[in-house]
Amino acid sequence: MAGKQKKALTYTLPEEFHVFGFSRDLLAWYDGQKRDLPWRINRDPYRIWVSEIMLQQTRVETVKPYYQNFMEKFPTVEALADAPEEEVLKAWEGLGYYSRARNLQSAAREVKTRYGGVVPDKPDEIATLKGIGPYTAGAILSIAYEKPEPAVDGNVMRVFSRLLLMTDDIAKPATRIKVEHLVRQVIPEGRAGDFNQALMELGALVCVPRTPQCLTCPVFDYCLARREGVQEELPVKGKAKPPRPVNLQVAVVRRGDRVLMNRRPEQGLLAGMWQFPMVETDADTPSVKQQTLLDGLSSRFGQDAEVLEPLMEVQHTFSHLHWNMEVWLCDWIDGGELPSDARFVTLEEISSLALPVAHQKIVEKLKSDR
DNA sequence: AAGCCGGGGTT
DNA sequence: AACCCAGGCTT
């Protein structure tokens, strides 16, 4: 067990970095320039929590309307814990990364039962809640409870890369650990929440990815990258793999004024969301594509249909996938009992289901055609 | 360590 | 078109 050496001691700040002046100047700037955001009206841990989950990999301006709506529908931990999962998913529709919504509700139920409805303020306890990782734990603990914990997100990684002229690959988990150690040494007494938010605010407004606005930066004097003129070369980040193409045949099966929809599995991509039935195929002729689709409808749902005409093509890109969807208008012919994860619904009923954006595009087309 | 998991804004 | 966003979970 002697193989692991303690690395924390190697994460020391440069001698020329003036911690006190930096914290003072950054906080002064934050006090004057911070944005007026809906989750900053108080320090209710639940409100902070919901905001931090929504803000994971999601821009502030995107989150705002979702946050307002979500807090109206689920104003407390208990309200969220007691809500039907489908309602939570619907409130999350379009926001992406839907496991965030499921984990948030699961964790709310945990907080209600295990912690009496009070979001825990201990690092060990809050870190066990679903959907709360190192960043979110630090954010809630510092912002809501003023605990001196780091909250290192993409903004903070970028700011520290430039500030301390770090050339570590910020895509690697080890780099986040390193930055957490550094931030921990810089958090000012009694202002952990504001300090963490100030670092993120700086990254969002001034120390932006492409062309940092160094001339208006409140901590210009402390920035080692700017001193060397290499601020635009940082941070270093490994390239992501391009999305993998997936070819899909999609069926809009009409039966009177209703269409066939099915619910996706509880796990995996777009878990639990509703969609038009579709099958993956690399077939390259229209007849084979159509037959593959009709065979799928028959075997998967026990419904017989015929293809009337091609309706539209939809392309949709995810982080790791690129969907090429060919949508066919079909007429229902015959069928038996549907499985429990499939239903014929009216266009009005569709609006109460949570749909991926790719399938919302099809709904819009159907509405415009009728 | 690498892959999976959405959708949209910026440059 | 490429990059990135107040990341976390699974393998």
Q: Which nucleotide is nearest to A203 (CA to C1')?
A: C6
Task: In whole angstroms, give the CA distance from residue A208 to residue A137.
Answer: 24
What is the model's pLDDT at position A17? 82
The spacing between the Cα labelled CA in A211 and the C1' in B1, in angstroms, equals: 31
pLDDT for A92-126, tens place per residue?
Answer: 999 999 999 999 999 999 999 999 999 999 999 99
Res A344: pLDDT = 98
pLDDT attached to residue A128: 97
List, by residue range, all CATH 3.90.79.10 domains of chain A. 244-369
Domain A244-369 carries which CATH code? 3.90.79.10
- Fold for A8-233, please state it: Endonuclease III; domain 1 (1.10.340)
Residue at A236: amino acid letter: V
Residue matched to tokens 């499921």:
A102
Note whether A264 and A274 are within 8 A (CB).
yes
For CATH 1.10.340.30, list the domain ranges present in chain A. 8-233
Interstrand relation of A274-275 and A244-255 (parallel, antiparallel or unpaired): unpaired
Question: Which residues of chain A carry a pLDDT beneath 50?
Answer: 1-9
Q: What is the reported pLDDT for A62? A: 97
Q: Which nucleotide, over all strands, has the C1' atom closest to the CA of A237?
A: C3
Nucleotide nearest A135, CA–C1', reads C7
Collapsing DSSP to helix, strand or coil, A105 comes out as helix
Which nucleotides along chain C are within 7 A of a protein C-beta?
A: 2-9
- Encode burial over A158-186: b for 16+ CB neighbours within 10 A, e otherwise: bbbbbbbbbebebeeeebbebbbbbbbeb
Q: Which helix (H) or strand (E) holds A333?
A: strand A321-335
Is strand C less than 7 A from the beta carbon of A52?
yes
Separation between the CA of A323 and the C1’ of C1 (whole angstroms): 17
Pairing relationship of beta strands A303-317 and A244-255 according to DSSP bridges: unpaired
Verify whether residue A52 is a known catalytic residue.
yes
Residue A38, C-beta contacts closer than 8 angstroms, at least 6 positions apart:
A51, A64, A67, A68, A71
| Residue spans of beta strands (DSSP E) within A29-178 | none
